[in-house]
A = this chain, B = another copy of it.
């Protein structure tokens, strides 16, 4: 089983909608929060100053499939793993587990592809750039991803 990073939280009132369940758009905010916490855990950041401006991870593509609702007050976990790393992108997999008294129920499952970019000072330009080796290595080490997979990032498409 691949290693996972687990982000636990509880549904807040403002995250629900008229149907009495968490609005689906918030699952993407939960996924981002899980990724953010994971990067912080590694001493990295989803958005930080670099030598030449700011480095960030905007989304390239995301998806989510919903299987059971989350409701106000529900506790749940986002289980984050890496589905793929290319030279310039990381695709995370997030599985949502709703915690109940005596079991857990899978509530949703999604993917999120983050693109490594440099944002120049004015904030007007986002430029896709190679994921620095120090970042790549730390993420691969955490998830015990074999280095063969990432031996020649420049030749990958990302």
Contacts and interface: CB of A to CB of B under 8 A. Distances in A.
A66 interface: yes
Interface size range on A against B: 35 or more
A27 to B, nearest CB: 9
Interface string A98-132: 00000000000000000000010111101000000
A139 interface: no
A16 B14 contact: no
A29 to B, nearest CB: 5
A5 to B, nearest CB: 16
A65 B72 CA distance: 25
Nearest to A23: B14
Contacts of A61: 63-66
Contacts of A72: 18, 47
A58 interface: yes
A156 interface: no
Given A62-B64, A63-B63, A66-B60, A14 B17 contact: yes
Interface in A67-82: 69, 71-73
A28 B29 contact: no
A121 B19 CA distance: 11
A50 B65 CA distance: 27
- Residue with the greatest number of chain B CB neighbours at <10 A, chosen from A12, A24, A36, A54: A24
Contacts of A25: 14, 25-26, 28-29, 32
